[in-house]
Amino acid sequence: MSEAEIVVTRPAKHVVQLRLNRPERRNTFTWSLLDALEAELGRLAQDPEIRVLIVTGTGDTFSAGADLKLVQDFGPEEARRWIRRGHEVLQKVADFPMPVVASLNGHAVGGGLELACACDLRTSVAWNKLGLPEARLGMIPGWGGLTRAQRLIGPAKLGELVYTGKLITGREAAQIRLVNAVYSDEELAPKTLALAERIASNAPLSLREIKRLLSSSAGLSPQVDEEAESLARCVASEDQTEGLRAFFEKCEPVFTGK
């Protein structure tokens, strides 16, 4: 029997931790991982004892985004399905009835960072790499990350990240308010749990109502179809093929705009 792709634990009263569990593939997303994440979120959302949800990853990576061995075979229609499916699942993170804290135990790149941005708060180790480097692969961030990250850091700073495709450290991310706090490897889990317990000590009805009022869901629905069409155009391009070839061969891509 294969190991579960999502592991759920209860590290403290009223606190649940959900851990992405594909360390051999850097916790990258597949159709099955999206399905497993959605199923657990739906189940946990019905639990009246939960006041805080922590999302983290197994190993030294939070999530490296989409599994590129899967994405490289996408055609335009499958790319549209991928965008819509990712939006559905990350929206369930954003709409979870209680506060959600992303504990970035390692790299959070592409869809991994989009998942973190769908959470309410983010803690991080200082050394990891964060970013939305899809343009370097001939693609775009497609799971609402452009909108959610822009709300956190503003259009100018986000533009610098996505246009260049550069990655920044957790420490740099804290400086631009992309994450709330950074800690050492040893401190991250206990400090994040202490934050969760402090939140969980408050009135559950108040937490639920505050979460509802602060929900990040507004304004993303019209964007889904637009992002789906954009990615469909990208995956049909020669540049996307070149970007993924260069990634797997560990060399610089030569883009032509075709």
Q: The CATH number of the domain where 144 resides is what?
A: 3.90.226.10
CA distance linking residue 116 with residue 149, whole number of Å: 9
* Catalytic residue (choose from 5, 38, 40, 134): 134
* Active-site annotation holds for 252: no
* Catalytic residue (choose from 38, 114, 172, 187): 114
Residue 66 included in any domain: yes
* Active-site annotation holds for 227: no
Number of domains in the chain: 1
CA distance linking residue 150 with residue 129, whole number of Å: 18
What is the per-residue pLDDT across 156-208, written as a single tens digit (0 to 9) for each? 999 999 999 999 999 999 999 999 999 999 999 999 999 999 999 999 999 99
* Domain housing 120: 6-184
Residue 248 included in any domain: no
Question: What predicted TM-score, i.e. pTM, was given to this entire model?
Answer: 0.92
Residue 63 included in any domain: yes
- Residue written as token pair 């403290």: 12
How do strand 168-169 and strand 129-131 relate by DSSP bridges?
antiparallel
What is the per-residue pLDDT across 12-49, written as a single tens digit (0 to 9) for each? 999 999 999 999 999 999 999 999 999 999 999 999 99
From residue 99, alpha-carbon distances to 49, 53, 103, 194, 203 in Å are 13, 6, 13, 14, 12
In this structure, what token pair is assigned to residue 225?
Answer: 């179809």
CA distance linking residue 236 with residue 238, whole number of Å: 7
Residue 228 included in any domain: no
